[in-house]
Structure 1
Amino acid sequence: MAGKLAARVKGLSEAAFREAFGTEAQCRAALERLRWPKGFVCPACGHGGRAWLAERKLFQCNRCKHQVPLTAGTIFHATKLPLTTWFLAIHLIVTAKNGISSVELGRRLGVKQTTAWSMKHKIMQVMLEREAKKPLQGRVEIDDAYLGGARSGDKRGRGAAGKTPIVAAVETTAERWPRKLKLLPVKGFRKKEVEKLAREHLAPGSTVVSDGLSCWAAVEGAGCDHFPMVTGSGRQAARWAPFKWVNTTLGNIKAAITGTYRQLGPAHAARYLASFAWRFNRRFQLDSMLVRFVHSAARTKPMPYRVLVAG
């Protein structure tokens, strides 16, 4: 049923995007509408009356004379790039099922790779903060995985050098169709770490289905019910019905990462993983993804470059 629905959902075509957001005026109007859906509100005094100072490109409160740039306090804060460039970057990133590298993004936008990298990470930070606010609930399939691989001659499997441990969790419907996904980097698969993750990302009362790894029992400390199923190893275990969707999504995302980025390091893994989860969770809302994103971006605090680089 979900597969048939996904096939019927149409996204925003490039022609439709250019028609809706092809000019700076259109982008400014969209951002203003999404930032202040009930009209301008002065952040200093709360007054709704304002004047537009065209030469300085900012609003001025009619009461206290406080001046507010449209992009102030958002991820677009202090940007020197036109909003048309930002909106195109958002369109490319939110519609790229397998992600898009900063090199390709820079080429499409006509900006330097370093500029594209900064824009991309600000956009992915919005996705990260948005996804963190929504815990999974109901039936949840959960599994451990690693990003990256062992170098030639190094240890393989768990604990291999260069690997980033992550937790994948899929909320499913009663009919076992996937509803929401979370991909979360962790320090390791210890009970204390798993309980902390469960408190932050799983709603109390959720039913967690896991393999036989002992650390998953810690979800009970966060008020979740736990049903361990020892799967063994190998391809047949990965296809086992109770873990079908968590293993399917993990396989797809690993293939996408390898094809687009080659590998992800631990410093920025959280943002990259959140971007995949954000797109997956809105796969039936392709026509409104850009507008939904800009609504969130207008409510996300600025991210200075030094913070982006630090991860």
Structure 2
Amino acid sequence: MTILKFAEHFPDEESCKLYYKKVREKQGITCKKCQCVKHYWLKDKWQWQCSNCRFRTTLRSGTVMESSKLSFKMWFAAMTFMSFSKKGISALEMQRQLGHKFYEPIWAMMHKIRVSMGKRDDLYNLEDMVEFDEGYFSVETSEKDKANLKRGRGSEQQMNVAVMAESTPLEDVKTGQKKSSCRYFKMKVLKTHKSEEINEVIKDNIEEKVILFSDKSTSYVDIEKYVEAHLTEKSTKETTKTTLKWVHIAISNAKKTFLGVHHKMKGIYLQNYLDEFCYKLNRRYFGEYLFDRITIALVTCGK
């Protein structure tokens, strides 16, 4: 959604609330008290009332917006800025655009949106053929964070990330030239290089009936137990351009995005930034409908 369309569709607080109400009702309202799904709307209260126990549910209740003091219009404006910008937007710039006096609530709101994006993508696993590798991302770490980080390439400020790309091999019938196309991506921060953690990432994010491609890292020795087939190649420059092409393109693009938008990223929030990057990358063809998908994520993925 563009800024002009945002101004047209959501000119005031009420228009934002009505749209949020519509999305919530489409996704379904469940009573916290008795789990009943039948409700009726109390227009003067801006609440739903359970048909069974008469318990009331507010517009924000059970969603990411619960307990937030920011207006619906400010949330919607933030979602608009985060959806139309492929490269993302910093919290400081968001604060400036929204004209809010304080930085902290804007920063917290953006991270809540990123967490919702991550939860939404976690509902789906990668299928068919998957490329798997690891990348190192530079972060700012405190003394407290360092205890949870693993040194990467000689630097204490490098965090290891498992990167997965669902790819499809293609062959030109006339020329016989082979290439691949990508569909969906996932990135998960790793605390260690141990095979046990790699195995958990595979189980949680990739379907069993998958052909998985990776290099010959010693951390990947057990992957074959969790997928249909595990094909490995020695890590070389050629491997990164062919077998693991999309994984390394994603790593490179993510690093460029973070470097261009965020002055510093703390290690404990890296997963949130990765979730936003993958969420928008996985929906790169949605165009103006990305705003609608983000709204659904905020409604369905809880606070």
Q: TM-score range by the shorter chain?
A: 0.7 to 0.9
Report the Cα offset of residue 166 of structure 1. Answer: 0.5
Relative to the length of structure 1, the TM-score reads: 0.83
The answer (yes or no) to whether the contact 2:152–2:160 under 8 Å persists in 1 is: no
Return the letter of the residue paired with 1:107: R
Could you say if the C-alpha distance between residues 53 and 60 of structure 1 is closer, same or farther in structure 2, counting changes exceeding 3 Å? farther
Could you say if the C-alpha distance between residues 203 and 47 of structure 1 is closer, same or farther in structure 2, counting changes exceeding 3 Å? closer
Name the count of aligned residue pairs.
Answer: 283
Task: Quote the Cα distance in structure 1 between the aligned partners of 2:3 and 2:51.
Answer: 39
Q: Deviations over 1:252-297 (max 9, x none)?
A: 1101111111443321111110110000000011221111111121
Please state if 1:83 is matched with 2:84: no
CA RMSD of aligned residues (A): 2.4
Return the letter of the residue paired with 1:197: V
Structural mapping, 1:86-165, within 5 Å: 86-111=75-100, 112-148=102-138, 158-165=153-160
Return the letter of the residue paired with 1:281: N
The answer (yes or no) to whether the contact 1:98–1:256 under 8 Å persists in 2 is: yes
Report the Cα offset of residue 79 of structure 1. Answer: 2.2
Please state if 1:256 is matched with 2:251: no
Q: Deviations over 1:31-90 (max 9, x none)?
A: 111111177665445364534253x54334466432221111101112222211111111
Report the Cα offset of residue 225 of structure 1. Answer: 1.4
Of 151, 163, 181, the match for 2:185: 181
Partner of 1:167: 162
Structure 2: runs of 5 or more not aligned: 142-150, 171-179
Partner of 2:173: none
Return the letter of the residue paired with 1:109: L
Please state if 1:219 is matched with 2:223: yes
Structural mapping, 1:272-283, within 5 Å: 272-283=273-284
Return the letter of the residue paired with 1:116: I
Q: Secondary structure at the match of 2:208?
A: coil
Return the letter of the residue paired with 1:186: L
Identity level (%): 24
Partner of 1:308: none
Partner of 1:70: 59
**Mean Cα deviation higher: 42-51 or 284-293:** 42-51
Structure 1: runs of 5 or more not aligned: 1-11, 303-311
Could you say if the C-alpha distance between residues 150 and 75 of structure 1 is closer, same or farther in structure 2, counting changes exceeding 3 Å? closer
Report the Cα offset of residue 94 of structure 1. Answer: 2.4
Task: Quote the Cα distance in structure 2 between the aligned partners of 1:238 and 1:16.
Answer: 44
Task: Quote the Cα distance in structure 2 between the aligned partners of 1:281 and 1:103.
Answer: 26
Q: Secondary structure at the match of 2:133?
A: strand
Q: Secondary structure at the match of 2:191?
A: coil
Return the letter of the residue paired with 1:17: F
Return the letter of the residue paired with 2:86: K
